Amino acid sequence: MTTENVTAVVVAWNRATILSDTLDALERQTRPLDGLVVVDNASMDATPVVIAAHRGVTRVVRMPVNTGGAGGFAAGIAAALDTGTDLVWIMDDDTVPQPDALERLLEARAGYRGTPAVLACRADWVDGREHPMNRPRARPWLERDQRLHAEEIGTQAVRTCSFVAALLDARAIHEDGLPMADFFLWNDDFEYTGRLLRHRVGLYVPAARVEHRTAAFGNSTADPGDRFVNEVRNKVWTFTRTHSFNALDTASFAAATLARWAALIARSSQRGAMISRLVEGLKEGARPPHPTWRVLRDTPVGAEVMSVESGAGRV
């Protein structure tokens, strides 16, 4: 088993009951964690009490305001890197890993010829079905030898994945920086894992399993309501303001995105509202996102965020 240091990061917001299960599961890993950072995104429920009751938590980052998943993960990853960790295992507070999930990720990492920058768990819904929201995107145009090698160790090479129990190599984070906090929510994982994996290897590890306890079983084809503004704005930023994807990837993903938006609007019972959200998202996407260090500079990890972002040349 690897001797590398592994720190988990959990972003929590108003889900105290499930968070307790998440922290219990992390403390029961067959390969023990070396650190556990919990970002409390200004929760208004019993989240602080739950965190205080878990001895495995090595650092709590209490955010002054809710910075969304994007800001929360940026803050938590920066705090984890400040410990000198080698690997950062990130997840939301509604994610409950199986006891051997981390062990299986590290086995896949050790078995691959090379150094994967990202390893993604299989996320199941509460009834055991694989959650469609979290299925990684397979890496297209992959050389046959690379594809076969990934398959030999029971994995699949991927181009992007969700933040639900993704294991990140600290070296890649230091080189490419943190998630873009201004995304707030939606597509932050798509942009960020796309950035880390543009020139690196990412693996989907089905043997490493977690339960993702979302309220409903579904994916991005479901009507997102007001969050459609975030979806549109953040996709515009991803394709026009970042270097996460090359021209071919951008063309492919953008075409799929436009087709999905059209289908969402066509199926919606409130087409007028959806079109208004589309327009609002396009307008917001016309301005550049604020740099992550600026969004998080007045938080408890402002200095750590600045250190990572400046080292990656993103300041």
Q: What is the mean pLDDT of residues 75-90?
A: 98
CB 74 within 8 A of CB 9: no
- Token reading at 170: 């600290």
State how far Cα 116 lies from the chain centre: 16
Alpha helices by DSSP H, 37-166: 47-52, 68-81, 101-111, 144-152
- Per-residue pLDDT at 107 exceeds 90: yes
pLDDT of residue 142: 80
pLDDT of residue 284: 97
Q: Which residue's entry shows tokens 């046959």?
A: 144
Among 71, 66, 18, residue whose Cα is nearest residue 44? 66
**Distance (Å, whole) CA 44 – CA 60:** 16
Grade residue 221 by pLDDT with cuts at 50, 70 and 90. low
Among 15, 61, 56, 64, residue whose Cα is nearest residue 38? 61
In the chain, what percentage of residues exceed pLDDT 90? 88
Q: What is the mean pLDDT of residues 263-267?
A: 91
pLDDT in tens, 26-56: 999 999 999 999 999 999 999 999 999 999 9
Mean pLDDT of the chain: 95
Grade residue 158 by pLDDT with cuts at 50, 70 and 90. very high
CB 84 within 8 A of CB 20: no
pLDDT in tens, 182-203: 999 999 999 999 999 999 999 9
Burial 174-190 (b: 16+ CB within 10 A, else e): ebbbbbbbbbbbbbbbb
Q: 253 burial class (0-12, 13-18, 19+ CB within 10 angstroms)?
A: buried
3-state SS, residue 118: strand
> Which homologous superfamily does the CATH classification assign to the domain defined by 6-217+288-311?
Spore Coat Polysaccharide Biosynthesis Protein SpsA; Chain A (3.90.550.10)
pLDDT of residue 3: 82
pLDDT of residue 103: 98
Q: Where are the domains of the chain?
A: 6-217+288-311
pLDDT of residue 144: 83
3-state helix, strand, coil in the chain (%, to 5): 45, 20, 35
Q: Three-state SS across 142-164?
A: CCHHHHHHHHHCCCEEEEECCCC
- Token reading at 191: 């942009």
DSSP state for residue 112 in the 8-state scheme: S
pLDDT in tens, 54-64: 999 999 999 99
State how far Cα 208 lies from the chain centre: 16
Among 90, 101, 109, 96, residue whose Cα is nearest residue 206? 101
